[in-house]
Structures are given as structure tokens and as C-alpha cells.
Amino acid sequence: MNTNSGKVTLLSAGPGELDLLTLRAAKALAVADVVLLDDLANPEIVSLAPQARVIRVGKRGGCRSTPQAFIERLMRRYAQKGLHVVRVKGGEALLFGRAGEELASLREAGIAVEIVNGISSGFAAAAGLGISLTHRRHCHGVTFVTAHTEDHGEPDWAALAATRTTLAIYMGMRRIGSLAAALLESLPGHTPAAVVQWAGSIHERRLLTRLERLAADADDAGFGSPAVILVGDAIGESVQALWSQDAASCDDAASARAA
């Protein structure tokens, strides 16, 4: 039986602005003793944890990162001292954030764990584009996939393309050329595609294109990490929405000139 009064909260910080946090997340931060801050989380989040010791444990692909084993040791160490540790993770903690490894480590040590869900960057990207990832006119689902497998290989892109779902691809910018080429073996070149960088933040950038132009257009526009790549017919709804907005703006301008 665990008699330790300490605990760990795996907290989803969302993709960007603080107003995307849940109320539960804000409450957990307010009473945190220690905050382990992910590199992709908005650094301003520490303002919501006034009494906490803040330790930055950055993890970002292609950059020098804090070892995962060290992060897990920190969580166990402070929780075993009876402290409330809040592990702040960008986006949704349970999606591509190594939460499974952390949960296993903490449970093995007999430490209580709470999970606070949040908004994933894939959903924030869709919101920025003004689309539904599961528009029933175009698909029957959405597949969230990371471009990096545990053995540093790549997913089975042909199998993913065969699902005919919207693909929300995380951590794929360094492999955007190879993944686009692999998908083109199974999908037509005119398949709508998009890249959304820094989704859900004031720095958000969006690129709408076709699968055959995805890598070249992203490179020409200077898109990089962190970004979500979206592929599928549902993405085309964003193009239609933009055309509608442009047409409405033209109509308004024409009306103003006539007046």
C-alpha cells in the first residue's frame, strides 16, 4: 500500500495560448510544488504556478534534449518527498508524449498519478483551418500518427493511405519529402494537404496545398517544426471556406463602392 502523500499530475498544456488550458489544468498548477516544464509548452504557463519550483526539461526532435530516464527520476524523487509534481506536456499528454513510459515508471514506484487532458495540436490545426477532421462527406475517421517509429524507422504509409481517413501527422517536418513520396504511391497527387506550424498560438502559420506539392511548398514557405501535417480530402473544405470568404469580401467591397 502506498503511504506516500506525494503525487504526480501529467498535465496537458495544449498547443499554444494559455486560454486553451482547461480549468482543471489551471487548478492543478495553482497548487503545484514542482513543475517540470516541457520545451513545447507555452513558457508563460509558469505564471499559473506561483508557489512551484520550475524545472525546464526540454524535449524537441533534432535538438539536445533532457533524457527521458532523468525526467522520470525527477518525478519519482520529488513525489517521494511528499510533493505535488506537475509534469507539463505540450498538447495532449497522452498523444505522442511518452506518457505511457512515465505512467509505468510512477506506478512501479507506487506513486499516485493524475492525468489532465488537453487540446492536441492536431485539433488546433484543424480549428485554424476551419475544417472537420472527420467530415463524413470525405472520410470515415481520422488517424493520428507520428512520422518516427521507436526504431527510428517510418510507419507503413501505404497501409495508412489505404484507411482513407484524414491523416494527422506529427513530428514529420524533417521527413516531409519521404513521407509525401510514400503517400503518393497510394494517393493521387491532387489529394488536399496542409501544414500548420505553431498551431493554436499567436505565431500560427498555415499552408494549404496538394500532396504532390506538399514538400516543395512547405520548403519554399520556410515551414518547420513544430508543425502538424494534414492529408486527406477533408482538408479541401478549408480551401472552399477560403474561397467563400474571399468571394464575400469582394461582394462587400463592390457594395461599398456602389454605395
1 as an active site residue: the answer is no
CA–CA separation, 23 and 38 (whole Å): 19
* Among candidate residues 170, 172, 206, the one with its CA nearest the CA of residue 98: 170
The catalytic residue among 59, 75, 89, 173 is 59
38 as an active site residue: the answer is yes
Residues 6+ apart with CB under 8 A from 135: 234, 237
Which H or E run includes 162? helix 157-162
* Among candidate residues 218, 198, 197, the one with its CA nearest the CA of residue 209: 218
156 as an active site residue: the answer is no
CA–CA separation, 76 and 73 (whole Å): 5
Q: Which long-range contacts (CB under 8 A, 24 or more apart) does 183-189 make?
A: 183/157, 183/211, 183/231, 184/211, 184/212, 185/157, 185/158, 185/161, 186/157, 186/158, 186/161, 186/162, 187/161, 187/211, 187/231
Give the other-Cβ count within 10 Å of 89's Cβ.
Answer: 28
- Contact between 105 and 10 (Cβ < 8 Å): no
Positions marked active-site: 38, 59, 171
